[in-house]
Amino acid sequence: MSIFIDESTRLVVQGITGRDGSFHAKQMMAYGTKVVAGVTPGKGGQRFEDAVPVFNTVAEAVLETKANTSVIYVPAAVAASAIFEAADSGIELIICITEGLPVLDMTRALPYVHERGARLIGPNCPGLISPGKSKVGIIPGSICKPGKIGVVSRSGTLTYEIIHQLSTHGYGQSSCVGIGGDPLIGTNFIHCLAAFADDPETTAIVMIGEIGGTDEQQAAEYVKDKIKKPVVGFIAGQTAPPGRRMGHAGAIISGSSGTAAEKIAAFQKAGISVMKRPADVVPLLKERL
């Protein structure tokens, strides 16, 4: 098993003829992901790589190909619009790789996705992979290995580092999900923890957080209350400087929360084994499994 994506994933690539979209569409096709459609307004009727039909709109793509999942590689200025379009067209799972989305766009896109019962992963995320089954996004398939560890992370390349550690030491993954580092994201740690908890194949969970916000603290509470499987965690940013801040609103709303120390303490209190460095992931998992 796996979470969110597997062999039944039928993918439409929004921005399939763009630089990033075409490169990664080929990578995903090579990995075995069922890429059933692409969308680029004005290129409807063409075929991508002589194989994948391209449509002007996601609605047409869904109608013609029964796509159930979408991945977004369009420029930041129109990425929110692509999210709206995917949700409006009945796509159930939307993965937005694009980085640099205005946060205020997300304040409007998130309730829209939510109202339609869809799930958004990202934006500004590497996507996800269920090794051996399906890969949606940009996580290099070559570093992953099918297995039983669930990985969820706010970062991109740091996730690769952790997956690399796991795979090279024989720990395959059920699914690896990069939820994205932006302030407003569609799928958070708790959503992924719940899915991994429900996935019978996943035996342990690796959770990679970073400074800023309180998602990790809430996730820790959730782990304490609900998760029976072993969880190993990491927090990046212990040495990061506190950002120069204008105004008082940030301090008022978040108080002193968001530091690495606070998050590590919350992890420890919740019984999460905390890595000091990425290379600790395998030794800690060994202890817990």
Partner 1 sequence: MNLHEYQARDILRRHGIPVPPGDVATTPAEARALAEKLGGKVVVKAQVHAGGRGKAGGVKLAKTAAEAEANAKAILGMKIKGLTVQKILIAPAAEIASESYVGIIVDRASQRAVVMVSPAGGIDIEEVAATTPEKIHRLAVDPRYGLLAHQALGLGFKLYGDVKQARAAADIMQKLYGAFYAVGASLAEINPLVTTPDGSVQALDAKISIDDNELERRPDIAALRDTSAEAPEEVAARDAGLTFIKLEGNVGCCVNGAGLAMATMDLVKYYGGAPANFLDIGGSSNPQKVVSALRIITSDPNVKAILFNVFAGITRADDVANGIVQATTEFALKVPMVIRLIGTNEAIAVDILKKAGFSALTDMDDAVKQAVAKATGKAA
Under rule CB under 8 A, which residues in 73-112 are in contact with partner 1?
76-78, 81-82, 84-85, 88, 99-104, 106-108, 110-112
Is there binding between residue 59 and partner 1 (CB under 8 A)?
yes
* CB 1, min distance to partner 1, A: 25
Is there binding between residue 143 and partner 1 (CB under 8 A)?
yes
The single residue of 114, 169, 191, 248 carrying the catalytic annotation is 248
Q: Which one of residues 54, 236, 264, 274 is an interface residue with partner 1 (CB under 8 A)?
A: 236
Q: Which one of residues 58, 61, 151, 220 is an interface residue with partner 1 (CB under 8 A)?
A: 58
151-210: which residues touch partner 1 (CB under 8 A)? 153-161, 164, 181, 183-184, 208, 210
19-48: which residues touch partner 1 (CB under 8 A)? 20, 24, 41-42, 44
Binding mask 237-276 for partner 1 (x = CB under 8 A): xxxxx-xxxxxxxxxxx-x--------------------x
For residue 75 the two structure tokens come to 């420029």
Check: CB of residue 231 under 8 Å from CB of residue 207.
Answer: yes
* CB 47, min distance to partner 1, A: 17
**Does residue 191 have an active-site annotation?**
no
* CB 253, min distance to partner 1, A: 6
DSSP H or E run through 148? strand 146-153
Residue 228 vs 277, nearer CB to partner 1 = 277
CA distance 280 to 21: 34
* CB 229, min distance to partner 1, A: 23
Check: CB of residue 54 under 8 Å from CB of residue 36.
Answer: no
Helix, strand or coil, per DSSP, at residue 78: helix
CA distance 79 to 83: 6
CA distance 132 to 56: 31
> What are the backbone dihedrals phi and psi of residue 103, each rounded to the nearest 5 degrees, phi first?
-60, -35
For residue 241 the two structure tokens come to 């400087």
Alpha-carbon 110 to chain mean position: 15
Is there binding between residue 283 and partner 1 (CB under 8 A)?
no
Check: CB of residue 122 under 8 Å from CB of residue 96.
Answer: yes
DSSP H or E run through 153? strand 146-153
Q: Which stretch binds partner 1 (CB under 8 A): 61-69, 150-158, 198-206, 281-289?
A: 150-158
* CB 99, min distance to partner 1, A: 6
Distances in whole angstroms, Cα of residue 58 to Cα of each of 25, 72, 239: 16, 11, 44
Active site residues per annotation: 248
